[in-house]
């Protein structure tokens, strides 16, 4: 079974890597797919994000890296024949954000979503905080 772990990964964090590792143990293949989020201003160029993810996951044989810009995740999943969306959840706010999207993915395309709770060691890390910290 194939899964996709979508995100902006801007920048990728140790929390993202933890979710990718855990998902890799559950699925035959996991695709980390860089998407654009219109609500966020991109900091790193796409090529840099793809290279970073590829480097971070180089020891995970069943994890690949891809991108899909300007289209719905369910369309990407249909074309790539992906069955499951994997998302990490750090806080109740993340859950409130992810749950409606999971319902919509199921409604639109029959694609299930697996929400993985963040490892406590990484739960406080977000791409936004990492970017803000490095900016200063």
Q: Can you give the residue ranges of every domain in the chain?
A: 2-135
- Verify whether residue 127 is a known catalytic residue: yes
Confidence check: pLDDT of 118 > 60: yes
Q: How far apart are CA 67 and CA 28, in angstroms?
A: 19
- Whether 42 has a binding-site annotation, put simply, is no
> Phi and psi at residue 58, in whole multiples of 5°?
-60, -25
Q: Give the tens place of pLDDT for each residue, 55-65.
A: 999 999 999 99
For domain 2-135, the CATH class is: alpha beta
pTM: 0.86
- Whether 123 has a binding-site annotation, put simply, is yes
- Verify whether residue 81 is a known catalytic residue: no
Q: How confident is the model at residue 85 (pLDDT cuts 50, 70, 90)?
A: very high
Mean pLDDT confidence for 92-100: 93
Mean pLDDT confidence for 123-133: 48
- What pLDDT is stored for residue 3 in this prediction? 98
Q: How far apart are CA 19 and CA 122, in angstroms?
A: 10
Tell me which of 2, 21, 22, 90 is the catalytic residue.
Answer: 90
Does the N-terminal peptide bond of residue 11 adopt cis geometry, omega within 30 degrees of 0? yes
- Verify whether residue 21 is a known catalytic residue: no
Tell me which of 14, 40, 71, 107 is the catalytic residue.
Answer: 40
- Verify whether residue 58 is a known catalytic residue: no
Q: How far apart are CA 126 and CA 46, in angstroms?
A: 18
3-state secondary structure the chain: CEEEEEECCCCCCHHHHHHHHHHHCCCCEEEEEECCCCCCCCCCCHHHHHHHHHHHCCCCCCEEEEECCCCCHHHHHHHHCCCEEEEEECCHHHHHHHHHHHHHHHHHHCCEEEEEECCCCCCCCCHHHHHHHHHC
- What pLDDT is stored for residue 120 in this prediction? 66
């Amino acid at each position: 079974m194939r899964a996709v772990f979508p995100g902006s990964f801007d920048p990728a964090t140790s929390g993202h890597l933890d979710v990718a590792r855990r998902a890799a143990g559950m699925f035959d293949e996991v695709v980390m797919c860089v998407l654009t989020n219109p609500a966020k201003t991109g900091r790193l160029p796409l090529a840099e994000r793809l290279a970073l993810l590829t480097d971070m996951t180089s020891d995970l044989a069943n994890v690949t890296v891809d991108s899909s810009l300007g289209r719905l995740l369910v369309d990407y999943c249909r074309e790539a024949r992906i069955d499951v969306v994997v998302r990490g959840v750090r806080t109740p706010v993340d859950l409130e954000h992810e749950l409606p999207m999971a319902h919509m993915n199921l409604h639109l395309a029959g694609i299930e979503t697996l929400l993985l709770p963040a490892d406590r060691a990484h739960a406080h890390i977000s791409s936004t905080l990492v970017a803000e910290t490095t900016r200063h």
